[in-house]
Amino acid sequence: MYNIVGAMFASEEEARKALEALAEAPKINGTTILQMSLVKRKGGELKLCDNFTSEHLTGNDTVKGGLIGGLIGILGGPVGMLLGGATGALLGKAVDKEDKLDSQTLIAQAAQKLEEGDLALIILADETDEAILDRMLVKYNVVVIRYDAEVIAKEVEKAEKLEKELAEAKEEENK
């Protein structure tokens, strides 16, 4: 099963160690790490610190679609700010649109949890047993959340549509 795994770290050193360890052994006991991105919230934005793409990529549409890139874009964009509780002129009139994304989605949870200076490793994994990746991460000071990649792909699509609507509303407001 393809999953998106979000691992939030207390320190950059621990996050980088985890990224390196997982990149060195991307295929273990039926679990394959396909893609990983290390991100940090800095200056109110989500910055890409490092990434990894496995040689084990498949032809699956979930992987081909650039799911992690899209997810990072959403988390760092206006929808991520909206779900994370930020306010501002751009988002002020769009608060009622928040209901278009369920508050229990990975996007909403990650946006709310990633505060200034926080780091997260976002992993696309093909897992036959979730415990394998969890055991690999347990030695780091980390909080792990996991969702079905197909569900996240739909969330990203919905959030991208919402971002487009926000941009159109902003453009209309400026006329």
Report how far Cα 77 is from the mean position of its chain's Cα atoms: 12
Which of 18-27, 145-154, 162-171 is the least confident region?
162-171
What region, left, alpha or beta, does residue 18 occupy, with left being phi > 0 and alpha being psi -120 to 50 degrees?
alpha
The count of structural domains within the chain is 1
Helix (H, G, I), strand (E, B) or coil at 143: strand
Residue with tokens 């997810």: 71
Name residue 2's amino acid.
Y
Using CA atoms, how far residue 84 sits from 39, 149, 172, in Å, is 16, 21, 24
Q: What is the pTM of this model?
A: 0.73
What's the domain range around 51? 2-173
Which of 41-50, 62-71, 95-104, 162-171 is the least confident region?
95-104
Residue with tokens 């498949």: 58
Q: Report d(CA 11, CA 41) in Å as an integer.
A: 13
What tens digit of pLDDT does each residue of 76-94 get? 655 555 444 443 333 334 4
Report the 10 Å Cβ neighbour count for 116.
Answer: 9
